[in-house]
Amino acid sequence: MAKMPVRPAHPESICWGCEKYCPADRLGCANGTIRTPHPCELFGDDWLEWALNESNAAEPPSSGRTRGGEHAQGAQSGQDELHR
């Protein structure tokens, strides 16, 4: 299995959708009709650092609270009051 480069020189010239790494103009795996972009094209050059930070900061199971600390039900009922 080939490793995916972290910062390829010309990521736009390769399909990153499988381990074949086909040229963008000759897709050989039937993975679709368009090439799959490299993560650096989608998330920037620091994509791996971002991905590692996200995997290390896994949230605990949902307790019914939103990220802001409000109860999800309370946040919804507050919105309902605004629309009445």
Name the residue range of residue 50's domain: 11-55
> Is position 64 within any domain?
no
> Is position 65 within any domain?
no
Q: Torsion over CA of 22, 28, 30 and 34, rounded to 10 degrees?
A: 40
> Is position 69 within any domain?
no
> Is position 44 within any domain?
yes
* Contact in structure between 67 and 60 (CB atoms under 8 Å): no
36 three-class SS: coil
> Is position 22 within any domain?
yes
Please give the tally of structural domains in the chain.
Answer: 1
More confident residue, 50 or 79: 50
> Is position 20 within any domain?
yes
How much is the pTM? 0.56
pLDDT, residue 58, reads 61
* CA 43 distance to own-chain centroid: 8
Cβ neighbors of 60 (< 8 A, separation 6 or more) are: none
13 pLDDT tier (thresholds 50, 70, 90): very high
